């Protein structure tokens, strides 16, 4: 499994613009082969922070996702509102 968390610190006041488009991106992504989960959250401590949690069958499934036009379009849209982004690959603790 390939799982990660993306935390995006946004420019103040831009969260709703991204959240307006996120459900369509979520639906398209969840329909892709190899997508196990794709969820987004708002941070309760900071309204200008979004958290995306994704799980994929493997890295190849994620690579396929990154080549999809809906993925490229959503990334290009929300990048303009970033203050910074953190990408963390995670594994189940044992």
Hey, where are the domains in the chain? Answer: 2-90
- Residue 77 · residue 8 · CB < 8 Å: no
* pTM flag (> 0.75): yes
Cα 9 to Cα 48: distance, rounded to the nearest angstrom: 6
The answer to whether residues 6 and 73 touch, using CB atoms and an 8 Å cutoff, is: no
Q: Which residues are CB-neighbours of 63 under 8 A, at least 6 positions away?
A: none
Residue 36, pLDDT score: 97
Strands 35-42, 49-56: pairing kind: antiparallel
Fold of the domain spanning 2-90: Alpha-Beta Plaits (3.30.70)
Residue 60: per-residue pLDDT: 96
Q: What pLDDT sits at residue 31? A: 98
Q: What is the pLDDT along the chain (94 residues), one digit of tens a residue?
A: 999 999 999 999 999 999 999 999 999 999 999 999 999 999 999 999 999 999 999 999 999 999 999 999 999 999 999 999 999 999 877 7
Q: Which residue reads 């594994």 in tokens?
A: 91
Q: What confidence score (pLDDT) does residue 91 get?
A: 86
pLDDT the model gives residue 94: 73
For residue 20, give both structure tokens. Answer: 């307006």
């Amino acid at each position: 499994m390939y799982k990660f968390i993306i935390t995006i610190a946004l420019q103040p006041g831009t969260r709703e613009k991204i959240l307006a488009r996120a459900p369509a991106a979520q639906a398209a992504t969840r329909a892709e082969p190899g997508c196990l989960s794709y969820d987004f959250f708002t941070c309760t401590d900071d309204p200008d922070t979004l958290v995306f949690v994704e799980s994929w069958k493997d890295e190849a499934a994620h690579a396929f996702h990154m080549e999809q036009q809906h993925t490229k379009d959503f990334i290009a849209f929300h990048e303009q509102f970033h203050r910074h982004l953190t990408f963390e690959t995670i594994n189940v603790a044992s």
